[in-house]
């Protein structure tokens, strides 16, 4: 038995011990009856639950606007949890540092995910006669695919020859091994300009080996970007130490900032330098806008763009103070813990969910029903986040999803046959996982467990 398997078994043991107690996880309070429970929320990988702090922070922003109007840009109200609006994006960047493993100077809060992908590809994807390809995975989230495809076409190139799509090792599977990714890099290194992969693949829930893949690509002269939509706030990241060139993430999934919330981006510090020694400011080319300009000269109105040093210099437009207030409230919750502690709990919580799913698989086999589903997420806990993707037998997706919804369970489905189950450590309890599995048995037409 190897160390990973031993760790896996240990986590299951700990989880079982936790669920057998009579206390609600992490509170020390007596559990309430099942009839008193609200719905089970296992869809934080699509939209995180609303933190109470978000309502407080957004209301504070409304109060600032109502009471002092435009002065809210540069005035701090004494009893408000918010900084002045001009400093809100910077404040959210500071609060995001632990989530992505970087200095606040390397983080910019702006726009939404796909817009940020376009803005950063405009700066980092510079195809020429020698290097023009982009390496991606075979099944990225459609928006990522569209962004990459359109960037290539924007440069007058053919996406059919410039997009190198890595397919799973097993043609019938969903997982892509690190070895295959490294091999693809080696085979295409001579003419590849950019590698752009998801930190966690949205369909399978696979966590890629970001540091190893990044190091290998950069050793071959390739710019490396990551879409961390399903990784930020979910797993530990160390973007600066891993030498990632750029990354983007949304904040409405595991970070819980609300539907369509303002997004974040990481730009390594080496790309944020501004040299003012010459007649004209020297900096990495990018698409520019007023809010990327240094605050010390932003209001000179002289049309001489001098970017803010660091990632903030990649901003374009004035960000919504309401959006920033919502994100600031959500991030304040993360300030009460750290990603290491959340990841520790997530590993055990997800292992417990996996253990119960395996029990259901075995029950169906014993009942002569055959395999009703399989878990397509990696079995190695270190190669996944909190999400377990359950591939149902053909024909079961719609009926099972309907029973789950009618029973007060929220989790999402991804065609052709996957239900994604995401026990998020910030607000999911072990009891919630146990109750979910009882209802899932019912959704599959199995007898409810005692």
The percentage of the chain sitting over the pLDDT mark of 70, rounded to a whole number, equals 91
Residues pairing with 223 in the sheet: 194
Plot region of 51 (φ>0 → left; ψ -120 to 50 → alpha; else → beta): beta
Q: What percent of the chain has pLDDT over 90?
A: 83
**290 labeled part of a ligand binding site:** yes
Query: Nearest CA to 249 among 311, 166, 338?
Result: 311
DSSP string covering 228-277, please? -TTTTTTS---TTTTT-SEEEE-SSSTT---TT---EEEE-GGGS--B-S
**Annotated binding residue 392:** no
Confirm or deny that 113 is annotated as ligand binding: yes
User: What is the pLDDT confidence band of residue 302, given thresholds at 50, 70 and 90?
Assistant: confident
How far apart CA 256 and CA 273 sit, in angstroms, is 32
Flag whether 227 is marked binding. Answer: yes
Weakest-pLDDT range from 114-123, 193-202, 338-347, 409-418:
409-418
Say whether pLDDT at 234 is over 80: yes
What does the domain layout of the chain look like in residue ranges? Answer: 3-38+338-444, 87-332
Q: Which long-range contacts (CB under 8 A, 24 or more apart) does 67-72 make?
A: 72/321
**Any binding-site annotation on 144?**
yes
Pick the CATH number of 87-332 from 3.40.309.10, 3.40.640.10, 3.30.360.10, 3.40.50.720: 3.40.640.10
Q: Which residue has the higher pLDDT, 37 or 30?
A: 37
pLDDT tens for 73-121 read 999 998 999 999 999 999 999 999 999 999 999 999 999 999 999 999 9
Element (DSSP H or E) covering residue 95: helix 85-100
| Annotated binding residue 30 | no
Q: Is 318 annotated as a binding residue?
A: yes
Q: Per the annotation, does 252 bind a ligand?
A: yes
Give the pLDDT score at 299: 82
Confidence of residue 306 (pLDDT cuts 50, 70, 90): very high
Taking only the tens place, the pLDDT of each residue in 394-417 is 999 999 999 999 999 999 988 889
Average pLDDT, whole number, for the chain? 91
Q: Considering only CA atoms, give the Rg of the chain.
A: 23
pLDDT tens-digit profile of 152-185?
999 999 999 999 999 999 998 999 999 999 999 9
Q: Which fold has domain 3-38+338-444?
A: 3.90.1150
Say how many CA atoms lie within 13 Å of 429 toward its Cβ: 21
Beta strands in 350-431 (DSSP E): 373-375, 388-392, 409-410, 412-414, 418-421
Q: What's the pLDDT at 448?
A: 60
Give the pTM: 0.91
Q: Establish whether 155 is an annotated binding residue.
A: no
Place 37 in a pLDDT band, splitting at 50, 70 and 90: low
Packed helices 321-334 and 85-100: angle between N→C axes, nearest 10 degrees: 40
């Amino acid at each position: 038995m190897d160390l990973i398997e031993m760790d896996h078994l240990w986590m299951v043991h700990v989880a079982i011990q936790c669920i057998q107690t009579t206390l609600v996880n992490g509170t020390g309070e007596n559990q309430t009856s099942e009839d008193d429970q609200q719905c089970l929320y296992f869809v934080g990988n699509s939209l995180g639950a609303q933190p109470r702090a978000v309502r407080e922070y957004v209301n504070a922003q409304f109060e600032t606007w109502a009471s002092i109007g435009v002065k809210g840009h540069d005035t701090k109200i004494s009893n408000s949890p918010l900084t002045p609006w001009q400093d809100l994006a910077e404040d959210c960047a500071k609060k995001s540092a632990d989530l992505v493993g970087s200095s606040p100077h390397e983080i910019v809060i702006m726009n939404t995910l796909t817009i940020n992908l376009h803005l950063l590809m405009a700066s980092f994807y510079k195809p020429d006669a020698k290097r023009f390809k982009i390496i991606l995975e075979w099944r990225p989230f459609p928006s990522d695919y569209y962004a990459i495809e359109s960037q290539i076409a924007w440069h007058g190139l053919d996406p059919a020859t410039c997009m190198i799509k890595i397919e799973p090792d097993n043609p019938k599977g969903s997982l892509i091994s690190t070895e295959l990714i490294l091999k693809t890099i080696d085979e295409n290194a001579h003419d590849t300009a950019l590698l752009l992969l998801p930190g966690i693949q949205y369909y399978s829930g696979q966590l890629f080996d970001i540091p190893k893949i990044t190091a290998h690509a950069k050793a071959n002269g390739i710019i490396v970007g990551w879409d961390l939509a399903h990784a930020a706030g979910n797993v530990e990241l160390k973007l600066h130490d891993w030498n990632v060139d750029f990354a983007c993430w949304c904040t409405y999934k595991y970070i819980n900032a609300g539907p369509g919330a303002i997004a974040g981006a990481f730009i390594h510090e080496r790309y944020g330098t501004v040299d003012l020694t010459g007649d004209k400011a020297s900096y990495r080319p990018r698409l520019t806008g007023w809010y990327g300009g240094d605050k010390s000269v932003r209001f000179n109105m002289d049309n001489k763009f001098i970017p803010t040093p660091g990632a903030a210099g990649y901003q374009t437009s004035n960000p919504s103070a309401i959006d920033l207030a919502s994100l600031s409230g959500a991030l304040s919750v993360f300030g009460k813990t750290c990603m290491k502690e959340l990841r520790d709990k997530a590993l055990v919580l997800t292992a417990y969910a996996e253990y119960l799913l395996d029990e259901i698989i075995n029950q169906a086999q014993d009942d002569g029903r055959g395999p009703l589903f399989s878990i397509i997420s990696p079995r190695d806990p270190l190669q996944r986040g909190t999400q377990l993707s359950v591939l149902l037998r053909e024909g079961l997706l719609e009926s099972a999803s309907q029973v789950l919804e009618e029973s007060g369970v929220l989790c999402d489905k991804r065609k052709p046959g996957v239900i994604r189950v995401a026990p998020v450590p910030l607000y999911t309890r072990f009891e919630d996982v146990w109750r979910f599995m009882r209802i899932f048995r019912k959704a599959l037409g199995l007898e409810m467990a005692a």
